Structure 1
Amino acid sequence: MAAPGSGGDAAQEKHGRMSLQSSRDPALPHSRQDVVYDGNEAGSDRQGPGGLIRIKTAGESGRRGLHPLHFFKIIWTSSSSLSRAVNVLWPFVPAALAVYYTNTGPSTLRFSLAYIAMVPCANLIGFAGSELAKKMPHMLGVLTETTIGSIVEIILFLVLLLGTNNQNRFYIIRAAILGSILATMLLCLGLCFFAAGLRRETATFDSAISEVGTGLLLMAGLGLAIPTIFSRSISITEFNITQIDLDDRTTQLSRVVAVLLIIAYVVFVWFQMRTHHGIYDAIFEHDEHRDADKHKDAAKAKLTLTEAIVSLVISVALVTLIALALVHEIEPVVEESGISDPFMGLILVPLVEKAAEHLTAIDEAWDNQINFALSHCIGSTIQTAMLNAPLVVIIAWGRNLPLDLSFEIFEIAILILAIITVGNYLRDQKSDYLEGFLCIITYIAIAVAAFYFPTPPEAHGIVGGAEGTGVAEGGGHAERSLFM
């Protein structure tokens, strides 16, 4: 064992060596060999030989079981400031359920109430997920919180797929998949960069998160684009095949791509959770130490394990009911209001899917936990592209429904360009409010383009359109303006 006096020199030498690898934060490890597991370190959690399964005391509530008064008080007071602001929307939940199940009022009113009511329900799922995450090791906690935050998205996808017979449901699902990716990757990440930049000149994050995340995003974007490129590259007349044959080939290709993306996601999770978890745990531990309000968070009352599970069950049940109300009103709202399916699927639906994820990430960025915030943004985006979207395709396959991953050229081009743009911002491992503002502006520009983008005739099951013009009656080509 080294002499006590040599510990500082050894640490300095180690940190100096790592600074050659990353000039941003030499205190963080950059390889498995840099991670030292010391169970006797003050304040560390007990962990097993593998380092993955361990007992984390940061989320201990000091209570057991279910205490209704404490339960509701903690849900209302112990969340972040943004989440507490969202809690004032809870009266919209019973109102939305009442008007939907009594069929009261116009479709626009029922849709609006359900849309607003989804936000506090999603926020409760996010809070319950964060409470569970606090009781787990860092990497497992982040993965659990991200997965729980995706529950709303999965429920909406499944309700659209299985709970309705709308002729445009496949188109809205595909648009919602890309819209969820864009909302998290541009809007949420931009808000995180902007929030972090308001409190400090530059926010720095680790390359282990940004580089791996950027590579996976690019790979996932390419995977999602393959069926679209395949479908749009084949001319029916030139290759002497029918439209039905081309659609069948595209569907089969989409199913293969979906399976491959899920396999890639499983390998990615294994990479994070098993072979390289020590690097990520050290990064998140570092973020916890620089948390701007960690003392306030430590003093907040916490849910017990039972209370966290109960809150998840309640919130998932409410989200399912609200999702049914929301999805069943999409088609009437599109027809009555003139909103196009691209705007509905690409912008409106995704904004409520990841509401909880967005609020959590923004609060972490504000508190100088930029690695946590980045993990939520990039991790959620990767999960949508490599798990949630392929999972819906596979479920449709099991139900013999022809859902494929053939998107509009407009949508897939926007996706690839957005991935390249975000990857460029992540490359230097630092951010400021300007980069965040530019991401937000980019998302707003995409939203405006989606607003003016007409509903494609094939979204309503029409090939060739009316009288061969490609324009279907009521197909969403009516003139619209943001300034009327």
Structure 2
Amino acid sequence: MLGRFRGKQGPDAQTGVQEQDIGVSNDTEKAPQHMHIPRFNHNGHKVTRGIKPDGESGRGGIHPWHFIRICFRSTSHMSMCVNVLWPFVPPAIALHFARPDLNLWIFVLNYIAMVPSANLIGFAGQELARKLPKVFGVVLETFLGGIVEIVLFMVLLHNDVNNNLIPVIRSAILGSILANLLLCLGFCFFAGGLRREEQEFDEVISEVGHGLLLMAGFGLLIPTAFYASLRGSMDSGLLESKTLSISRIASVILLVAFFIYVYFQMRTHHGLYDSVLEKDEERDHDREDDLKKAKLTFTECIFALAIALTCVSLHAVFLVEEIEYMITERGVPDAFMGLILIPLVEKAAEHLTAVDEAWDNQMNFALAHILGATVQTALFNSSLAVIVGWGLHKAMDLNFEVFNIVILIMAIIVVGNFLRDQKSNYLEGSLCILIYILIAIASWYYPNPVPGASNTAEAAGAAHGGG
């Protein structure tokens, strides 16, 4: 017979383990196997079936006051500071309709407003991930963090006329990878190194991620190398057509590699990732405080994601419409716009989350987010842009500027060298950040490509003939 149940509030409660007092009668009668014994998490909340104890909010539906308070608190103190930028969101949207002639202000306001909107996606994604199995939660959280980037790429493709925005998309693809590998990883190494002499991480995370990055870098390099090798010795229209075809084939192959990687993480080798991430949770300096925090309900997570995605989409549309003005009238170089400005705003939320994890000694979680986001951009997002461009009859290819692709390959090699010993410190972080600053300076002085020079399509019609 079932006796009484008591939810434990001691140290073991942090892992969702409950103490059960089950009285058994003298006749050793067992409880029916189909009966469900309720579980209670660290805060004493009854855990809903299918929800992990760490993500149980103890509530249901939507509670406006709790929703606003929890969202403003966000994931960390840095993320909470970002939320003070929410007052920029309404005027950024309103100004686009009220004063469309104020191009500079529209660009600046929407650029700033994109940051808190993207931050909300990151926070709601993290709250949702906590309710799910660890590996699946990290994969979903990483994918949601990349939604901002996908939205921007799609808006850029839609607004492209005569290939005027294709160079920006190409630069943004590489810029996103560089921002993750150098800037975000650098700040993670630096922040973690300030609190401890060295931080260690597992090879399961670093080796798989770096191997995929090398493969992705090779895949992205092939169309550029093909075009650069044959430029001048083949008719330009035919060369562009063949390069476009190679880019589309390469995109399909990179997509296959991405789905194999996801399957590897979530199905065949998820046990390895689970054990590594569980050890990281035990090392979390803020573990107790994080468990005690109030959490969003499942419904509130979906609602927050809907609000954030709506705002991000609007800001992306308004931002992209002003890019041509910023390049032609304000003299912002194509390379700087795509390589630095766009990736910084789209990756802000992911960077804050990863740096906070490194600060709390969760370097495996930080690397999982950084390398996962980088692999998603290199394998999935870039391929998606090419394939969607194919469907829209746009000459979107992987024929990057030689300057950009050389920087990418060198960044992958440098970061791989830092990851090899499975240790990090603030020196390595500082070097990554300084390299990124140097790239930003070089991209500011890099001239805008002109037809017939470098890896630039001369005519959209010639490129369209390749597919």
TM class by smaller structure: 0.7 to 0.9
Alignment-mate amino acid for residue 297 of structure 2: T
Letter in 2 for 1:133: A
Q: Per-residue CA shift, 1:297-333, capped at 9, x if unaligned?
A: 0111100000000000110000000001100001101
Identity %: 56
Deviation, 1:136, is: 0.9
CA contact under 8 A between 1:195 and 1:433: conserved in structure 2?
A: yes
After TM superposition, the structure 1 = structure 2 runs for residues 300-449 of structure 1, keeping only pairs within 5 Å, are 300-449=293-442
Separation of aligned partners in 2, 1:289 and 1:275? 24
Going from structure 1 to structure 2, the CA distance change for 1:43 and 1:196 (only over 3 Å counts) comes to farther
Residue type matched to 1:221 in 2?
A: G
Which residue of structure 1 aligns with residue 59 of structure 2? 63
| Alpha carbons 1:166, 1:331 under 8 Å: kept | no
- Matching residue of 2:225: 229
Q: Which residue of 2 aligns with 1:73?
A: 69
Matching of residues 33-432 of structure 1 within 5 Å? 55-104=51-100, 106-165=102-161, 167-236=163-232, 238=233, 241-432=234-425
99-108 or 118-127, which moves further after superposition? Answer: 99-108
Distance in 1 separating the partners of 2:160 and 2:400: 21
- Tell me which amino acid in the other structure corresponds to 2:77: S
1:43 is displaced (CA, Å) by 11
Aligned residues of 1:171 and 1:459 also touching (Cα < 8 A): no
- The one-letter amino acid of 1:130's match is Q
Q: CA shift at 1:443, angstroms?
A: 0.3
Residue type of the alignment partner of 2:254: L
Distance (Å, rounded) in 2 between the aligned partners of 1:44 and 1:67: 21
Aligned residues: 413
Between the aligned partners of 2:403 and 2:414, the Cα distance in structure 1 is 16
- 1:434 Cα offset (Å): 0.5
Q: TM-score scaled to structure 2, two decimals?
A: 0.86
Q: Secondary structure at the match of 2:368?
A: helix
- Could you tell me which of 457, 462, 466 is aligned with 2:450? 457
Tell me, in whole angstroms, the C-alpha distance in 2 between the residues paired with 1:441 and 1:77: 31
SS of residue matched to 2:291: helix
* Mean CA deviation greater in 121-130 or 103-112: 103-112
What SS class does the counterpart of residue 193 from structure 1 fall into?
helix
Structure 2 CA distance for aligned equivalents of residues 209 and 350 of structure 1: 24
Unaligned runs of 5+ in 1: 1-41, 46-52, 465-484
Residue by residue over 1:88-109, the C-alpha shift from the partner in whole angstroms, topping out at 9 and shown as x without a partner, is 0001111111211222563222
Structure 1 residue 54: Cα displacement: 6.6
- Separation in structure 1 between the aligned mates of residue 371 and residue 452 of structure 2, nearest angstrom: 30
2:3 alignment partner in structure 1: none
The alpha-carbon distance between structure 1 residues 328 and 231, as it changes in their structure 2 partners (threshold 3 A), is same
Q: Is the 8 A contact 2:41 2:54 kept in 1?
A: no
SS of 1:422's partner is helix
1:364-418: CA deviation from partner (whole Å, max 9, x where unpaired): 0001000000011111000000001101101111122111000000000000000
Which residue of 1 is the match for residue 23 of structure 2?
none
Hey, what's the Cα distance between the residues in 1 that align with 2:159 and 2:123?
A: 27
Does the 8 A contact of 1:78 with 1:300 survive in 2?
A: no
Deviation at 1:56, TM superposition (A): 1.7
4+ residue stretches of structure 1 with deviation over 4 A? 42-45, 459-464
What amino acid is aligned across from residue 440 of structure 2 in structure 1? A
Matched to 1:363, the amino acid is D
For residues 106 and 341 of structure 1, the distance between their equivalents in structure 2, rounded to whole angstroms, comes to 21
Tell me the CA shift for residue 257 of structure 1: 0.3
For 2:100 and 2:237, the matched residues in 1 are separated by 41
Taking only aligned residues, the RMSD between alpha carbons, in angstroms, comes to 2.0
Query: What 5-or-longer segments of structure 2 have no aligned partner?
Result: 1-38, 43-48, 460-467
